Amino acid sequence: MILEELKHAVSLRVREWAKDQPELAAGAGKELPFTQPPAHVPADLSFPWPLQAAKLLKRKPLDVAGDLAKAFGALEGVEPPQPSPPGFVNFRLTSSALSRNLARISREPATYGANARVRARSILIEFVSANPTGPLHLASGRAATLGDSLVRVLRRIGHKVGAEYYINDAGGRAEILGQSLKARHEQARGKDVQVPEGGYQGEYLKDMAADLPAEAAGWKPVEFGKWAMNRLIAQHKEDMASFGAGFDRWFLESELHDAKAVEQTLAWLKERKMAYEKDGATWLGTSGVEGADDDKDRVLVKSDGKPTYFLADIAYHKNKFDRGWGELIDILGADHHGYVPRMKAAVAAMGKPPEAFHAIVHQLVHLFKGQEAVKMSKRAGEFVTLRELVADVGRDACRFFFAQRTPNAHMNFDLELAKKRSNENPVFYVQYVHARICSIFREAQKADLAPPDVRETEALGQLLTQPEERALLVKLAWFPDALAACESALSPHPLPTYLLELAGLYHPFYEKCRVVDSSNKDLSRARLALCRGVKEVIAEGLELLGVSAPELM
């Protein structure tokens, strides 16, 4: 990838230039900063490191930038580097390098964005993991988008990534769910009973009660609970499949209990002197453990002898590490802020480094119709389900809209905007460019014009000299950096931003540069190659977001 190669070459030259200057040696050995210059700057890549180096050298930043520009000398695929105020070195890619990159995209679009120099990591991402006591709601959709898109992006970059859904099917939840469903079942049979205090009040239990088999009349609450959980887990799987979120494993908490993993984990912690007894309970002791940032010790086994959910969670995370995963990422709902320091402390108690565990807490989703807030479900339930939202606006809009926001920001989801078939709707705006290019190819086929093959693309690509053409070529070169930004932020939001910018650059190109022109076949075929590159990058970017790339709209 052209920018990755350039950054690597620049980094090598910087280290060579700094090796005889002890003030710079440490900084030059670290990952160096690169930025995308603003539109008014005649450059494709900016290097602001001279600003930092100048402070250490006690020199003027522009003078340091000038020295570095000379030290870089000739770099493949780049015009002579230029120093720029206040202390940047700017790089401009050559036409041949941009053409080569365009050919690379067309040769292997499904691997474009992979980092040949990446230090491959082994990462298990657990996401959604909603309790099997009710339907999936909007927050589950946001978590599914975040987790599934991260899995796709990180795999594309070159990491080994697993996707897992954890199901809390053990403990008291099944009993309470069973009591709640039993009450709904008896209500349906005309009995005057109420859902128990602390039970599940959702309207969905009335529908489930109507589907119960005849023999349910003789069931105990635990049997109602097991039946309901199995039904809800099946619904969760259906919803995730229709949402395009894939999981390598659906892990049941009951698996841990059946394998005695919870008890074994407690014994293991005691052996490591990380658990102790106090007031008749067993506690996790993390005082003085490096990397444990919890503010107090936590109960593992209550005084009545029952294990807490926290102990089962520790057993589950230990199981993840025992399966060989090097890093764990948990994607959690907005009500789980207090969970994060607890689990960090538990991971530290396992002897793992702090970077081995990362929690992403995503914020709430609020539905709107224009300026009007939507508060209730269509079925007069307690919340709008993910299934309802997908049925209303479609999966593509859901996933693109969810992906646009950083996890730590609250989100207002505009139902009216999501259904608009106009450029106001961001997902429509991007998809329309893909569909428009497909229509151009159909028109070109009628004119007996075909895009060049990969080898020809490198030669014909150098005919693309118009500003609108070059802007697209450069933007295509930045696609791998958009993926790297997703990895750095542990969020897919840089990708829809990139796709919107790429689509925005295509519109002026379409207006000013005629693509299908039989009077100038070489230029027409070069522009078809450029359109193909844009089409393929949009399709790949949308695929990483779990969004379709339609050929007709």
19 and 75 assigned to the same domain: yes
Give the CA angle between residues 457, 105, 1 to the nearest 5°.
Answer: 110
Asked if residue 35 and residue 83 are part of one domain, the reply reads yes
Same domain for 534 and 449: yes
Task: Give the start-end residues of each E strand in 289-335.
Answer: 298-301, 327-332
Number of domains in the chain: 3
Residue 311 inside a domain? The answer is no
Model pTM greater than 0.85? Answer: yes
Confidence class for position 292, pLDDT limits 50, 70, 90: low
Assess if residue 272 is contained within a domain.
no
On the question of pLDDT at 408 being above 90, the answer is yes
Q: What CATH number is associated with residue 42? A: 3.30.1360.70
Looking at the structure, tell me whether residues 457 and 391 fall in a common domain: no
**Tens digits of residue pLDDT in 196-237:** 988 998 889 999 999 999 999 999 999 999 999 999 999 999
DSSP code for 405: S
Is residue 139 within 8 Å of 131, Cβ to Cβ? Answer: no
Residues 195 and 228 occupy one common structural domain: yes
Q: Are 458 and 412 contained in the same domain?
A: no
CA atoms within 13 A on the CB side of 380: 1
Per the domain annotation, does 321 fall within a domain? no
* CA–CA gap between residue 16 and residue 12 (Å, rounded): 6
Is pLDDT at 114 greater than 90 in this prediction? yes
Pair 202, 64 in one domain: no
Averaged pLDDT for residues 498-506:
98
Torsion sign over Cα 536, 439, 549, 423:
positive
> Are 146 and 244 contained in the same domain?
yes
Q: Which residue has the tokens 């910018």?
A: 501
User: What's the pLDDT at 380?
Assistant: 37
Do 325 and 124 meet the contact criterion of CB atoms below 8 Å apart?
yes
Domain contains 523: yes
Regarding whether 456 and 414 lie in a shared domain, the answer is: no
Residue labelled with tokens 């259906």:
238
Of 68, 93, 118, the domain-final residue: 93
Is 413 in the same domain as 428? no
- Tell whether 355 is covered by a domain: no
> Over the stretch 236-254, which tens digit does the pLDDT of each residue have?
999 999 999 999 999 999 9
Among the candidates 51, 68, 93, a domain finishes at 93
Last residue of a domain, one of 72, 93, 114: 93
Residues spanned by the domain of 52: 2-93
**Any residues with CB less than 8 A from the CB of 292 and at least 6 apart, and which?**
286, 344, 345, 348, 349
